[in-house]
Amino acid sequence: MSAVIDIPVQPVARRAAPTNTLEPAWIKYVLVTVALLFLTLFLFVPLVAVFAEALKKGWDVYVESILDPDAISAIKLTLIAAVISVPLNLVFGVCAAWAIAKFEFRGKSILLTLIDLPFSVSPVISGLIYVLMFGTQGWIGPWLQEHDIKILFAVPGIVLATVFITFPFVARELIPLMQAQGSEEEEAGLVLGASGWQIFFRVTLPNIKWGLLYGVILCNARAMGEFGAVSVVSGHIRGETNTMPLQVEILYNEYNFTAAFAIASLLALLALVTLAIKSFIEWRLHQSGETAADEAALMPLPHAVVQPVRSTV
Amino acid sequence: MTSLFKPRAAPTRVLPGFGLTLGFTIFYLALIVLIPLSAVFLKTFTMTWEAFWSAVTSARVMASYRLTFGASLIGALLNVVFGGIVAWVLVRYKFPGKRFIDALVDLPFALPTAVAGITLTALYSSNGWIGQYLEKAGIKVAFTPLGVVVALTFIGLPFVVRTVQPVLEDAERELEEAAASLGATPWQTFWRVILPNLVPALLTGFALAFARATGEYGSVIFIAGNMPMVSEITPLFIITKLEQYDYAGATAIAVVMLVVSFLLLLTINLLQAWTRKRAGKG
């Protein structure tokens, strides 16, 4: 049956399924068509539209929009925010995963929930909490003002909001991965006389490198693309506290659509590169035949939570 | 050396670094997340109950709740139906470009929300690629509540697909074969064998998409039009309050949204425990 139609059913691993469990061919066509229509409308067309709008007035205008001084300073600030927040959350993620995966202690599930908190908080509220702390009416706002330290509506505020938003990414990838791998190899290293750092760099790190990279690229994508939280703490000072997404908003609200889409296209490229690296990591893991647990831990973020489904089956 | 020969449960702390890593984890968590988040709750304690209540139940904020939760609900439901179909197609069928499509499903996670916002607005405005045809049919999407639904559907797209996909991949085809050999039609097999197995994953995906949508800001504000009482979402209303220096009012609404998020987080955790149990039984 499957030889006759264009869309054969994927063969079951060991043997082909008997044909009487297969739905009629027209159902397959309808389902594939519906899925492709939905994805075209919500994925492909928007993706193409970003670049089409950016290049609408030609290559020269595009390059000019990106080389605009305000755009350059927005790109710089976005890079600064990512360069600070990604390593901080990387160190945190490794520490949290080490403590949670290698040891048993009370309150572990509470700690896991607390680490996830920033994911369930609206970006706007993520910005608001720093306004409440550092604003002029805030907890330490008056003290900061006396000492002439600017956090809110300045670069430190943007970095803090970015750190908060990207807080769980690396930890979320590493914890299930390291839990699935267990501690036997590390214990063997210990028995052979390795120090804690040697165990980490020679045994653990090589085992978790792909998961780590995965967490880092997702963390980086979010850090560079964050809008809501950064918008609340930025103050929107052109050329000073505007990140790339904020610059997109300002240009768009000024009806400077081509320039807005030019910067947006850089962010879209970043998203595509992120997805390409992610697919590459998944392909590498597939090639090296690593266990299902590893693969599950590498599912996109919120689903890493679903990981035990695979390991129990 | 002896640690190797101890019973499995005992040697929990043979490896070094427990104090250091747990200490740093808790310190960093408190500094970045817990202390700033507690500021929201402490700020509301400075308000009287009446002031708090009137801030979170004013007509304008009630309208924003209806829009935020209503549009999130519709978006999440659309994603259950179409995301479920996409997951099914990606797992069960082969077609050209499948791997490319599979990789691209995560685009709404990776694409910055502001980019999604301006792009969807450009597409659905009256002279946009899609909007011009809808306009002829008398449907306005951009700058109406319908635009909010479009943005929130886009944002939630990967959640259902990615929760249903692994469950479908692990589903035992033997069960379907057994059902068929016992005389079930494909339709019966779907309703009685396949779908019940997918329900926990579908619900989890629904809850994840819904939770993400309720807090969403960047992709919505461009397409919504942001008219008070009509197309103003709650996160935007919080920002409006902040811009008017009404910090207490903004915080009060934020507390309501936070409580809803925590309840959703709890629901999602329970749903996932259920998914795991179901998979364990299978």
How do residues A22-43 score in pLDDT, each as one tens digit? 677 888 899 999 999 999 999 9
Of A53, A271, A313, the CB nearest to B282: A313
Of A118, A225, A302, the CB nearest to B159: A302
pLDDT at residue number B176? 86
How far is Cα A143 from Cα B231, in angstroms, rounded to an integer? Answer: 39
Residues A271, B114 contacting (CB under 8 angstroms): no
Nearest CA in chain B to A220: B110
Of B93, B108, B129, the CB nearest to A32: B93
**DSSP code per residue over A47-114:** HHHHHHHHTTTHHHHHHHHHHSHHHHHHHHHHHHHHHHHHHHHHHHHHHHHHHHHH---TTHHHHHHH
pLDDT at residue number A22? 66
What sign does the dihedral B20-A102-B169-B167 (CA atoms) show? negative
For residue A268, which of B124, B99, B119 has the smallest C-alpha distance?
Answer: B119
- From the CA of B90, how many Å to the nearest CA of chain A? 9
Average pLDDT, chain A: 85
- From the CA of A158, how many Å to the nearest CA of chain B? 13
Q: Which candidate in B21, B65, B199, B219 is best for mutational testing of the A interface (most A CBs within 10 A)?
A: B21
pLDDT band at A15 (very low <50, low <70, confident <90, very high): very low
Contact B112 A224 (CB under 8 A): yes
How do residues A263-304 score in pLDDT, each as one tens digit? 999 999 999 999 999 999 988 877 775 544 444 444 444 433
Q: Once rounded to an integer, what is the mean pLDDT over residues A12-19?
A: 46
- From the CA of A256, how many Å to the nearest CA of chain B? 12
| pLDDT surpassing 50 at residue A311 | no
Residues B235, B67 contacting (CB under 8 angstroms): no
Give the A:B interface size as CB pairs under 8 Å.
Answer: 343
Of B189, B216, B276, the CB nearest to A309: B276
- From the CA of B15, how many Å to the nearest CA of chain A? 7
Contact A302 B92 (CB under 8 A): no
Contact A308 B158 (CB under 8 A): no
Other beta carbons less than 10 A from residue B236's beta carbon: 21
Which residues in chain B show pLDDT less than 70?
Answer: 1-12, 279-282
Percent of chain A with pLDDT over 70: 85
Contact B115 A299 (CB under 8 A): no
Backbone angles phi, psi at B65, to 5 degrees: -60, -45
Nearest CA in chain B to A262: B115
Contact B190 A23 (CB under 8 A): yes
pLDDT at residue number B249? 93
Residues B216, B151 contacting (CB under 8 angstroms): yes
Q: Which residues of B touch A132 (CB under 8 A)?
A: 36, 39-40, 43, 247, 251
Nearest CA in chain A to B212: A120
Contact B154 A46 (CB under 8 A): yes
The H-or-E segment that residue A277 falls in is helix A257-287
Q: Which candidate in B111, B206, B281 is best for mutational testing of the A interface (most A CBs within 10 A)?
A: B111
- From the CA of B272, how many Å to the nearest CA of chain A? 7
Strand partners, B202: none
Nearest CA in chain B to A221: B110
pLDDT band at A141 (very low <50, low <70, confident <90, very high): confident
Strand partners, A9: B93
Task: Characterize A273-292 residue by residue with b for buried, 16 or more Cβ atoms within 10 angstroms of its Cβ, and e for exposed.
Answer: ebbebbbebbeebeeeebee
Contact B123 A95 (CB under 8 A): no
Q: Which residues of A touch B251 (CB under 8 A)?
A: 128, 132
pLDDT at residue number A109? 87
Nearest CA in chain A to B43: A132
pLDDT at residue number B46? 87
How do residues A212-234 score in pLDDT, each as one tens digit? 999 999 999 999 999 999 999 99
Q: Which phi-psi region, left, alpha or beta, contains residue B70 (left: φ > 0; alpha: ψ -120 to 50)? A: alpha
Contact A31 B113 (CB under 8 A): no
| pLDDT surpassing 70 at residue A20 | no
Contact B111 A225 (CB under 8 A): yes
pLDDT at residue number A121? 93
